[in-house]
Amino acid sequence: MGSVLVTVEYNRPVARGRRLFGGIVPYGKEWNPGADAASTIGFSGDVELEDRPVPKGTYSIWAIPGPEEWTFVLSHAAKVFHEPYPGGKDALRLSLRPETGPHMETLGFYFPMVDADSALLYLHWGETVVPIRMRAGAGRADRGGPRHNED
């Protein structure tokens, strides 16, 4: 994504026919999308997630799933186990709308769209897909690029 390297590190839990969200992952509770060590995302430069600035660095990834809305959380506590949630160390919280997609048996983070200065990251497990828009260089005057989940 431009001159910014984005790195996502995670372990992949498996659905195994279980009800995922609202089941083994309760609605309304902090959850680390992964297994074992907390999933992390690192940025080699400043970025924006959903038009909110995020300084370069590495963050653990957390989410609070809901049937109609998810809270996506980046935490300064990057080197932690996948539970418990490291309260009080949030770097960013975003409200996102989940979408429905094809079944994915193992949890995945992937980029279905990347261009010169922006990208779209998907958190995808089961039939739930949570899109997160990002852009290189937080604070840029240029507001072009992909738009997703906007009213």
Predicted structure pTM score: 0.88
* 112-132 confidence digits (pLDDT tens): 999 999 999 999 999 999 999
The conformation of residue 117, written as its DSSP 8-state character, comes to: S
Torsion, CA 11, CA 106, CA 122, CA 114, rounded to 10:
80
| pLDDT exceeds 80 at position 52 | yes
Range with the poorest average pLDDT among 68-72, 119-123, 138-142: 138-142
What b/e string do you get for 95-107 counting C-beta neighbours within 10 Å, with b at 16 or more? ebebeebeebeeb
Number of DSSP helices (H) and strands (E) in the chain, helices first: 0, 9
The answer for residues whose C-beta is within 8 angstroms of residue 13's C-beta and 6 or more apart is 34, 35, 106, 107, 125
